[in-house]
Amino acid sequence: MSKQRESIISAGIDIGTSTTKLIISRLSLLNVAGISHVPRIEIVDKEILYQSPVYRTPLLDETTINTSEVEQIIQHEYDRANISPHMIETGAVIITGEAATKNNASEMVHYLSKEAGEFLVATAGPDLEGIIAAKGSGVFAKSKGNRLVRANVDIGGGTANIAVYKNEILLGTCTLHVGGRLIEFDHHVIKSISPPVRSMLKQEGIRLQIGDSHNHPHIDKVLNMLLGTLSRTLTNELQEKDRPLILGHKPDWRLPIDVVTFSGGVSECMYQLETIESKASYNDIGILLAAKIQQSSIYEKFIVEAPMETVRATVLGAGTQTTEISGATIEIDPSKLPLKNIPIIKHDFHEQIENGISTLEKTFQQARRIYDTAYVENNFALSLTNIPLVKFNDIQRIANEIKRLMNERNHPDLPIILVVESDLAKVLGQSLIAIGVQQPVISIDQIHVDTGDYIDIGKALKTDVVPVIVKTLTFHSSEQ
């Protein structure tokens, strides 16, 4: 009997600082397990059915998204694609950049999760946005199987989100106030200057103000300052004068970067890969910044590769979803299932128990920066990979470190969720319970996930396994 395929419709919507865009895709699924085996559903083909024009993100003012206009854009594009919300079975809405900090970003998230289809909906903080863009641009996939350290620099309207990878392992992230809309024009004069640029101008004693000509010579000085900070970030040589342009933490990767790829709206000005009609006009420094980057010493210091996608690096990530079945050696609290939209942070032991345990805190702090906010009860799952052959004493040491770190979360009462690639989930989960953790424990195994993925964990089946939906926020190759 031939294996039967089915297909689902996926939509991706990216609402960013500068632009909003949408993509509709068809995902083909197939049970790749044998007839006598537990079903394992994988996406075996992906077809882009429709891509919207790139719209300027509608704003009511500097701090408020125009929700009704965004709704109209989405509905208009659904109509053009001949798609209705009930047909959307999977996908993601990502609110990125400074758009995620707008007063009503939360309102937008709730509306879209109810009205636009069956979505994974997230406001992506700067670190997560960098991770998503690195996958959408192709940098994550290109990093597999070689020793080169690759950085994706996603430059949008308000920020440059940097994610650094080696062999598909996230080495670090950093976000800068470097973007195309930091200075905007109206009728050939300066209409707005962003607060970070104002701070930089004041620090350097440079006078530039609203109403000055768009040809004012000090604009070039601003561009040089933005580019200087970006270049020093990539070489990990930041100076005190760069502080106004750093958003959050400093670069946290240790290995030197070999290859740099630019994605985002500014990179579209560099590469012009966008071929469809665009409704987003440039009345800002985006084109000037793109030209400045192309003339910079970055091209001498690094190998610079073009991305697979520029302005669509994030929206193309709104797509793939696979269903997997956990292993049978798991430890779960059935009362806490099902769980939906749990983000993943991956920790690689590299077959070394001592280093794996000692570096667990660094991974945990990275997870807290990306996902653990004081204001919203967001949980995350810790993925543990490449754990070497260990003794029971080593398992207890891992459990004790996890217990200590989980108690430092902003919401320590949330369940401890572990995803273990090897068959250690049950013994690790039981060890946590034995040492007296106060939280419910969900520990599953034989699931492959990466930082930036999300998972749904279903209710336990009669065979003592659980179905797991792995939601990967990018289109990446399914080839092994």
pLDDT at 432 over 90: yes
Say how far apart CA 440 and CA 429 lie, in whole Å: 10
pLDDT at 143 over 60: yes
DSSP state of 118: S
Say how far apart CA 168 and CA 162 lie, in whole Å: 15
pLDDT digits (tens, 9 = 90+) for 89-135: 766 677 766 666 677 777 777 677 667 666 655 555 667 778 878 88
pLDDT for position 321: 36
pLDDT for position 130: 83
Higher pLDDT, 56 or 108: 56
Say how far apart CA 474 and CA 480 lie, in whole Å: 16
Which one-letter amino acid corresponds to residue 244?
A: P
**Is residue 164 within 8 Å of 147, Cβ to Cβ?**
no
**Percent share of the chain, pLDDT over 90:** 41
DSSP state of 214: T
pLDDT for position 455: 82
User: Which 3-state string (H, E, C) describes 331-368?
Assistant: ECCHHHCCEEEEEEEEEECCCCHHHHHHCHHHHHHHHH
**Is residue 234 within 8 Å of 301, Cβ to Cβ?**
yes
Query: Hunting for tokens 């632009």 — which residue is that?
Result: 19
pLDDT for position 323: 42
Say how far apart CA 434 and CA 423 lie, in whole Å: 19
Find the angle CA(26)-CA(27)-CA(31) to the nearest 5 degrees.
150
pTM above 0.75, yes or no: no
Say how far apart CA 147 and CA 143 lie, in whole Å: 8
Which one-letter amino acid corresponds to residue 164?
A: V
Take residue 4 and report the two structure tokens written for it: 């039967």
Helical (H) or strand (E) element with 323: strand 321-325
Question: With b meaning 16 or more CB within 10 Å and e meaning fewer, what string describes 293-321?
Answer: beebebeeebebbebbbbbbbbbbbbbbb
pLDDT for position 264: 85
pLDDT for position 120: 58
Say how far apart CA 153 and CA 110 lie, in whole Å: 29
pLDDT digits (tens, 9 = 90+) for 217-270: 999 999 999 999 999 999 999 999 999 999 888 998 999 999 999 998 888 888
Take residue 192 and report the two structure tokens written for it: 């707005």
The model's confidence at residue 86, banded by pLDDT at 50, 70 and 90, is: confident
For range 276-283, the mean pLDDT:
53
Contacts for 32 with CB less than 8 Å, ≥ 6 apart: 3, 40, 41, 42, 44
Contacts for 140 with CB less than 8 Å, ≥ 6 apart: 134, 152, 165, 168, 450, 474, 476
Query: How much is the mean pLDDT over the chain?
Result: 82
